[in-house]
Amino acid sequence: MTAEQLAQSLGNAKRYARGWLASCPVPGHGSGNGDRHPSLAITQNGDKWLFKCFGGCDQSDVFAAMKQHLPTGGLNWNRPAVARDPLSGIRPIVPPNMKEVTAWDYVDEFGEVTAQKVRYELEDGSKTYRQYHIMNGERVPTIRNWTPIPYNLPAMIAKPNDPVFICEGEKAAEFLAGFYGVVAVSSHQGSSDWPAAITPWFHGRLVVVIPDNDIPGWKYAKRVVRALLGTAQAIKVVDLADDQSAIGDDAVEYIEGHTFEQFKATVALASVVEDFEELEPPQRLTGDEEAESEPESVAPEPEPFPEVIEAQAQQRYKVEMWRDAKDEPVKWLVDRIVPQKAFMALYGPPGTFKSFIALHLAAMIASGSVWLAHEVHEPGEVLYIAGEGHGGIGTRIAGLRHAYELTDIPVGVIRSQVNLRSSDQDFEDLIIAIKSSEIQRPKLIIIDTLARAFGGGNENASEDMGSFISNCGRLQEATGAALLVVHHSGKDASLGLRGHSSFLGAVDTQIEISRHQEQDSNGMSGTLKVTKQKDGKDGVEIHFSMKQTAITANEAMEEQEAKSLNLGFEEDESATLVVVPFEGELPDQDEFKPPPGRGKKLGRGKHQVMAREALRHVIKHQGEYRIMQGERHRCVTVDTWRQEVYTRLGSDVEESDKRKRWKELRDTLADAGYTAMRDEWVWIALPSEMRPNEF
């Protein structure tokens, strides 16, 4: 017997992508009223049969009913043809008048079932739902500590470029996915609400919302659109119903009478939603308020003890068990340098261009441009609190706009000192200022400098520094932004940040800035070095130059007007400095001099110095001692060195150009006598008195 013959014998046979559909033979299907729509999927794979009732019938009931329709030899009835879900044997304690009909698994990105939504049928034929947190393979009758995820999340992950269709319920999502082969999802709360925790999964996705044919369905669609605008790439709301559709119909009823091509055409005709306020239900629904149906009910969870209720009402923190703890990958604002939502410090002695660097970073994140050869992964709004040097910040902004051809980018500036150490009023006023400005969701907040935001406190006192750190955390919690504090180094710059050591302990990322002693041809350059990166690599170095740029008469006039309005100083400047990628020759750090008669710049060009630094770095962190040419050297493989050079060349350099540049650097440094290679190994070949320490 074929799948088609079996479907014909059951009635309402219909072809679909994976096999055949037919009426489900389970006697209790549809509350005993039979299967009006073909809900049973039939798939044949050789001598194996697969059955799935999209109406929610229990798998054992389906097999029992199918015995009457297949020859005995067609199935091995002692061994189910469909693998049993390992969770299907788990049954919670439920009232005897509730019969479990079907369970929908919520599977996370690791392929683990973390929750279930279960449909029950009551004695009077009505239905109800319960939700369970799955822990150690067992149902826990509460989801209070469960982190919500979309239903059918694995399909979203497997097809990252496909549109995502959002339905009200799991059944409709299953039908869309099963019949049309699209990525269809839903949330565990149905039409009652949209869980904010699942919104990030839709970042950058094309989204199509499919509302049920009732007022609650369209209210739900409006909630979804409101939540996803600004997160999703684009959103459509598609009305699959018409005047002949019954109230409450969803995608299940639509699929019965429409092909996939008709479905695609309907979606294509829908407009992209720009404003959720403009989204209204169709006239056929608004004309009959009595047609409004209630969302599917979910049985209330059993109430815990009163003392537990009181504790939960005040709960701010979540206890996470070891078995559930998973690390999240590091998300970068700026590749390998600025993590999202990090607490950071940029520090150095006076005159090292700290404020110029901070303002340049703000402009590149806001414009989405590459920052000193490092890609900006998450462009967005930036707030710059200029407590120091605010009188001349207008000139610096004008210089950046002119040099990088920037127009209207989302950078906001506060030209005032804000006491973040001891003034609750200053903190509240700062939050009010942010909320009332165009900067609503900053990716980065820059405080320039710590001293001007310290309210006259003692930087060396643990209490004062602790208060400042705490308020910085409050500011991050209120805005969701990364926070960069510009700070000074101590009298001895080699000892790092000025002030109490608790500040160094609190920051996730610390960037040291130094000015080159041997100045380049333009007169000014420096190096940024990541001296602490909590969730990344320490020791990353970035070189930069300062370039003078002229400001046009109009730009200068705009800048002067801005300073006058903000009560700044009235310097008459027509030029300023801007940060640019490094130009010139780097100062030597290992006293390397090329062999006599070979040219004083051999091995000392910008990229050659970078390749030498890359080799020193990998040898320091990954090197091993070997006897090479009769001497003991600390070595790494040539491939390890090559990979570090590729990384430092940056992501904006084509692979073919990287390969060409690498060969030139490798051969030049060997010719200059800086490196030596044997087989797969490379080491620094300088005389021992000229090698950096530990080499």
User: Domain check: are 364 and 222 in the same one?
Assistant: no
Q: Establish if 141 belongs to a structural domain.
A: no
Per-residue pLDDT of 359-372, as tens digits, reads: 999 999 999 999 99
The segment with the largest mean pLDDT, out of 2-6, 16-20, 243-247, is: 2-6
Cβ atoms 23, 14 nearer than 8 A: no
Report how many domains make up the chain. 4
What are the phi and psi torsion angles at 682 (to 5°)? -135, 145
Q: Establish if 444 belongs to a structural domain.
A: yes
CB atoms within 10 A of CB 415: 18
CATH number (domain holding residue 431): 3.40.50.300
The pLDDT, as a whole number, for residue 539 is 81
Q: Which residues contact 451 (CB under 8 A, 6 or more apart)?
A: 388, 459, 487, 488
The pLDDT, as a whole number, for residue 418 is 93
pLDDT tier at 594, thresholds 50, 70, 90? low
Residue 226 has pLDDT above 70, yes or no: yes
User: Domain check: are 420 and 522 in the same one?
Assistant: yes
The pLDDT, as a whole number, for residue 206 is 93
What are the phi and psi torsion angles at 289 (to 5°)? -65, -25
The pLDDT, as a whole number, for residue 18 is 66
Residue 16 has pLDDT above 90, yes or no: no
Give the mean model confidence (pLDDT) for residues 201-215. 90
The pLDDT, as a whole number, for residue 627 is 79
Q: Which residue has the higher pLDDT, 37 or 501?
A: 501
Q: Per-residue b/e over 358-394, b at no fewer than 16 CB within 10 Å? A: bbbbbbbbbbeebbbbbbbeebbbbbbbbbbbbbbbb
Lowest mean pLDDT among 50-59, 227-236, 265-274: 50-59
- CA 81 vs CA 2, 44, 46, 74: distances in Å: 16, 11, 12, 10
Residue 109 has pLDDT above 70, yes or no: yes
The pLDDT, as a whole number, for residue 315 is 57
Per-residue pLDDT of 415-428, as tens digits, reads: 888 999 988 899 98
CATH number (domain holding residue 629): 1.10.10.10
Residues in a beta bridge with 683: 676
Lowest mean pLDDT among 244-258, 531-545, 644-658: 244-258
User: Domain check: are 540 and 651 in the same one?
Assistant: no
What are the phi and psi torsion angles at 102 (to 5°)? -155, 160
Q: Which amino acid is at 601?
A: K
H or E stretch at 521:
none
* Last residue in a domain, options 55, 84, 113: 84
Q: Establish if 255 belongs to a structural domain.
A: yes
The pLDDT, as a whole number, for residue 567 is 25
Q: Establish if 356 belongs to a structural domain.
A: yes
pLDDT tier at 105, thresholds 50, 70, 90? very high
* Last residue in a domain, options 62, 84, 106: 84
Give the mean model confidence (pLDDT) for residues 600-616. 77
Residue 83 has pLDDT above 60, yes or no: no
User: Domain check: are 383 and 523 in the same one?
Assistant: yes
pLDDT tier at 87, thresholds 50, 70, 90? very low
Residue 469 has pLDDT above 50, yes or no: yes
Output helix, strand, coil percentages for the chain, rounded to the nearest 5: 35, 25, 45
Cβ atoms 618, 639 nearer than 8 A: no
Q: Containing domain of residue 523, as a range?
A: 332-581
d(CA 128, CA 298): 6
Give which of 13, 77, 12, 59 is closest to 2, Cα–Cα. 13
Alpha-carbon dihedral angle through residues 229, 235, 241, 242, given to the nearest 10 degrees: 100
What are the phi and psi torsion angles at 530 (to 5°)? -75, 105
The pLDDT, as a whole number, for residue 601 is 56
Q: Establish if 132 belongs to a structural domain.
A: no
CATH number (domain holding residue 256): 3.40.1360.10
User: Domain check: are 458 and 374 in the same one?
Assistant: yes
DSSP H helical ranges for 270-378: 283-286, 306-313, 354-367
Give which of 541, 611, 617 is closest to 374, Cα–Cα. 541
pLDDT tier at 155, thresholds 50, 70, 90? very high
Lowest mean pLDDT among 156-165, 518-527, 583-592: 583-592
User: Domain check: are 561 and 461 in the same one?
Assistant: yes
Alpha-carbon dihedral angle through residues 251, 253, 256, 258, given to the nearest 10 degrees: -60
Q: Establish if 89 belongs to a structural domain.
A: no
User: Domain check: are 336 and 474 in the same one?
Assistant: yes
pLDDT tier at 447, thresholds 50, 70, 90? very high
The pLDDT, as a whole number, for residue 521 is 43
User: Domain check: are 159 and 266 in the same one?
Assistant: yes
pLDDT tier at 589, thresholds 50, 70, 90? low
Per-residue pLDDT of 338-366, as tens digits, reads: 999 999 999 998 888 999 999 999 999 99
User: Domain check: are 295 and 340 in the same one?
Assistant: no
Lowest mean pLDDT among 4-18, 113-127, 233-247: 4-18
Give the mean model confidence (pLDDT) for residues 124-146. 84
d(CA 648, CA 640): 13
Cβ atoms 134, 108 nearer than 8 A: no
Per-residue pLDDT of 27-81, as tens digits, reads: 777 555 666 677 888 887 776 777 888 777 777 778 778 877 765 444 444 434 4
Q: Establish if 557 belongs to a structural domain.
A: yes
Residue 288 has pLDDT above 80, yes or no: no
* Last residue in a domain, options 84, 102, 132: 84
d(CA 443, CA 482): 6
pLDDT tier at 413, thresholds 50, 70, 90? very high
Lowest mean pLDDT among 200-204, 415-419, 528-532, 548-552: 548-552
What are the phi and psi torsion angles at 138 (to 5°)? -120, 150
Q: Average per-residue pLDDT in the chain?
A: 80
User: Domain check: are 159 and 240 in the same one?
Assistant: yes
**Cα 640–chain centre separation:** 30
Angle, nearest 10°, between helix axes 606-622 and 638-649? 130
Q: Which residue has the higher pLDDT, 260 or 245?
A: 260
Give the mean model confidence (pLDDT) for residues 5-9. 82
Q: Which residues contact 219 (CB under 8 A, 6 or more apart)?
A: 191
Angle, nearest 10°, between helix axes 393-404 and 553-565? 150
Give which of 36, 85, 30, 29 is closest to 61, Cα–Cα. 29
Cβ atoms 382, 359 nearer than 8 A: no
User: Domain check: are 522 and 566 in the same one?
Assistant: yes
The pLDDT, as a whole number, for residue 17 is 61
DSSP sequence for 135-172: ETTEEES--TT-----BTHHHHHH-TTS-EEE-SSHHH
The pLDDT, as a whole number, for residue 303 is 46
Give the mean model confidence (pLDDT) for residues 597-617. 74
Q: Establish if 136 belongs to a structural domain.
A: no
DSSP collapsed to 3 states, 614-674 = HHHHHHHHHCEEEEECCEEEEEEEHHHHHHHHHHHHCCCCCHHHHHHHHHHHHHHHHHCCC
Give the mean model confidence (pLDDT) for residues 265-285. 86
User: Domain check: are 440 and 533 in the same one?
Assistant: yes
Give which of 95, 143, 96 is closest to 117, Cα–Cα. 143
Q: Which residue has the higher pLDDT, 448 or 573?
A: 448
d(CA 546, CA 656): 30
User: What is the percent of the chain where pLDDT is above 90?
Assistant: 29
Q: Which residues contact 456 (CB under 8 A, 6 or more apart)?
A: none
Q: What is the value of pTM for the model shown?
A: 0.44
Lowest mean pLDDT among 87-96, 540-549, 599-608: 87-96
Cβ atoms 339, 535 nearer than 8 A: yes
